[in-house]
Amino acid sequence: MLSPERRTSMAERRPSFFAFQQATPLLVPHLAGIEDPLPEATPENVDVLIVGTGIVESVLAAALAWQGSNVLHVDSNDYYGDSSATLTVEQIKKWVSRINDNKIPCYKNAKLYASNDIGPTCKYKSRSFGIDLSPKIMFAKSDLLSILVKSRVYQYLEFQALSTFHTFENDSFEKLSNSKQEIFTNDTLPLMIKRNLMKFLKFVLNWENQPEIWEPYKDRSLADLLAEKFKLERPQVFELIFSIGLCYNTDAKIPETLQRIRRFLISFDVYGPFPVLYSKYGGAGEISQGFCRSAAVAGATYKLNEKFVSYNPETKIATFENGSKVKVEEKLVLSPSQAPEYSYNMPEQKYEVHRLTCIVEKDCSEWFNGNESAAVIVFPPNSLKSGNQEVVQAIIVGSGSECCPDGTCIWYLFTTQQGPRAELDLDAALEAMEISIIRESSVKIPQDESLVQVSEDGHSTINSFKLGQSFKEYVKREKVQFLFKLYYTQCTMVPPFNVVDPSLFMPSSGASSKFIPSACDNNVIYTAMPSSEISYDEVITAAKVIYEQIVGSDDDFFDIDFEDEDPVTSSNSYGTSRAIQYDENAIEDEEEEDIDMDQGDKDGDNSDVVGKLEI
- What does the alpha-carbon distance between residue 237 and residue 230 come to, in Å, rounded to a whole number? 10
CA atoms within 13 A on the CB side of 128: 20
pLDDT bucket at 113, cuts 50 / 70 / 90: very high
- What does the alpha-carbon distance between residue 342 and residue 359 come to, in Å, rounded to a whole number? 37
| Interacting residues of 366 by C-beta distance below 8 A, sequence separation 6+ | 437, 440, 441, 465, 466
For residue 341, how many other CB atoms are within 10 A of its CB?
Answer: 9
Q: Residue 276 has what pLDDT?
A: 94
| Sign, Cα dihedral of 137, 437, 247, 180 | positive
Residue 205 near residue 259 (C-beta atoms within 8 A):
no
Give the chain's mean pLDDT.
79
User: Helices in 416-536 by DSSP H: which ranges?
Assistant: 421-442
Of the candidates 89, 130, 121, 7, the residue with the CA atom closest to the CA atom of residue 486:
89
> Region 309-324: what's the mean pLDDT?
92
Q: Amino acid identity of 514?
A: K
Whether residue 458 is predicted with pLDDT greater than 60 in this model: the reply is no
Residue 366 near residue 558 (C-beta atoms within 8 A):
no
- Higher-confidence position of 562 and 338: 338
- Higher-confidence position of 473 and 485: 485
Of the candidates 315, 367, 262, 335, the residue with the CA atom closest to the CA atom of residue 74:
335
Whether residue 607 is predicted with pLDDT greater than 80 in this model: the reply is no
Of the candidates 60, 37, 136, 54, the residue with the CA atom closest to the CA atom of residue 294:
60
**Please, which residues bridge with residue 571 across strands?**
576
Q: Which of 66-70, 264-268, 299-303, 459-463 has the lowest mean pLDDT?
A: 459-463
Whether residue 231 is predicted with pLDDT greater than 60 in this model: the reply is yes
Whether residue 155 is predicted with pLDDT greater than 80 in this model: the reply is yes
Q: Amino acid identity of 142?
A: S
Residue 145 near residue 287 (C-beta atoms within 8 A):
no
- Higher-confidence position of 517 and 301: 301
Q: Residue 346 has what pLDDT?
A: 80
Q: Residue 157 has what pLDDT?
A: 92
> Region 286-298: what's the mean pLDDT?
94
pLDDT bucket at 182, cuts 50 / 70 / 90: low
pTM assigned to the model: 0.83
> Region 6-23: what's the mean pLDDT?
52
- Rounded-to-5 percentages of helix, strand, coil across the chain: 30, 20, 45
> Region 588-612: what's the mean pLDDT?
39
Task: Please state, in angstroms and as integers, the Cα–Cα distance from residue 288 to each residue in 52, 291, 377, following that order.
Answer: 11, 5, 25
pLDDT bucket at 186, cuts 50 / 70 / 90: low
Of the candidates 376, 415, 456, the residue with the CA atom closest to the CA atom of residue 178:
376
| Interacting residues of 473 by C-beta distance below 8 A, sequence separation 6+ | none
Whether residue 536 is predicted with pLDDT greater than 90 in this model: the reply is yes
Q: Residue 463 has what pLDDT?
A: 35
Strand-pair category, 524-526 with 482-492: unpaired
Q: What is the pLDDT of residues 344-394, one digit of tens each?
A: 578 888 899 999 999 999 999 988 988 899 999 999 999 999 999 999 999
> Region 124-151: what's the mean pLDDT?
94
Q: Residue 403 has what pLDDT?
A: 96
